[in-house]
Amino acid sequence: MTYTHISAPTEFAEANGIRFAYRRFGKSDGVPLLFMPHYRAGMDHWDPAVTDRFAASRPVILFDNAGVADSSGETPDTMEAMADDAANFAGALGVTTIDVLGHSIGGYIAQTLALRHPKMVRRLILAGTGPRAGEPSKDPKVREWADSTDSETGESSLEAFLYLFFRPSATSQAAGKAFWERRHRRKQAADRASTPQTMAAQRAAIITWSKAAGERDVQPEDIRQPTLIVNGNHDIMIPTINSFNLSQRIAQAQLIIYPDSGHGALFQFAELFVAHGTLFLDAPDRS
């Protein structure tokens, strides 16, 4: 049977002493697309309007990185360690070549993965993200909303998402609520909320990432993979200028910016984003 975002069972793979939770669905052949989510997020934070649409043309793999949600171990506090964990996880599945979609902090890890494990990564999609030592958020409320927790669910609230990922316009807010409804359609075996340890470690990694890079650190100039960079035109979390910056520094980067949208543009414009992403992933290599 063919699994979807909603029906795919959570499976586990062991690597380096970590038991990684993952779900795999979509086409059985082709280069898998590995999803790397935003701050605090596990597999259930993905939008089925994005994952299922990509799954129509390729295998899709969602996973919880070390210490996150249903995976065992502790969340490390550097992007490098998170990228190595992801590579170990892919290795445990026997996957040698992947495409990677990284959103927000997932985009930081995806860049790091592409540099530390260049032969493993074929193409990159970077959504709502930025380079090391990028432009910080100028919105004073972002940090508070990002760390806020709904006491009933132990998760970020709808209100937090509407503030952080969407624009104040009626259109964008409506898109945010539709996103929220879609991402809660899966009822079975939902993964656990991320722990304070995960939040603290990811926060520490983000702070290190926000500082100027030493010469051995990640530089987008060294990324050789064809890359698609997408964002909303008013991202208040990782300001859109960081997407511009990445697109000027990664040699083979195409940039797409959507209107009246922010950090969650990939969810607000799910259908178009996947159309753009699929065109990009399936395009022939430029010689």
Residues near other proteins, by CB under 8 A = 233-234, 240-241, 244, 247-248, 250-260, 269, 272, 286
The answer to whether the CB of 278 falls within 8 A of the CB of 57 is yes
Query: For residues 281 and 98, what is the distance between their CA atoms, to the nearest angstrom?
Result: 11
Least CB distance from residue 78 to other proteins, whole Å? 29
Residue 281: name the closest of 111, 57, 37 by CA: 57
Least CB distance from residue 257 to other proteins, whole Å? 4
Identify which of residues 156 and 261 has a Cβ nearer to other proteins in the complex: 261
Q: Compute CA 236 distance to the chain's CA centroid, rounded to the nearest angstrom.
A: 17
Least CB distance from residue 174 to other proteins, whole Å? 13
Identify which of residues 46 and 273 has a Cβ nearer to other proteins in the complex: 273
Helices (H) and strands (E) in the chain, counts: 10, 8
Identify which of residues 56 and 251 has a Cβ nearer to other proteins in the complex: 251
**Alpha-carbon dihedral 151, 153, 154, 159, rounded to 10 degrees:** -70
Identify which of residues 190 and 255 has a Cβ nearer to other proteins in the complex: 255
| 153 backbone dihedrals φ, ψ, rounded to 5° | -100, -20
Least CB distance from residue 138 to other proteins, whole Å? 14
Q: How many CB atoms lie within 10 A of CB 230?
A: 25
Least CB distance from residue 287 to other proteins, whole Å? 8
Identify which of residues 12 and 244 has a Cβ nearer to other proteins in the complex: 244
Least CB distance from residue 105 to other proteins, whole Å? 24
Identify which of residues 200 and 251 has a Cβ nearer to other proteins in the complex: 251
Residue 113: name the closest of 223, 26, 262 by CA: 223
The dihedral sign for the CA sequence 157, 42, 105, 253: negative
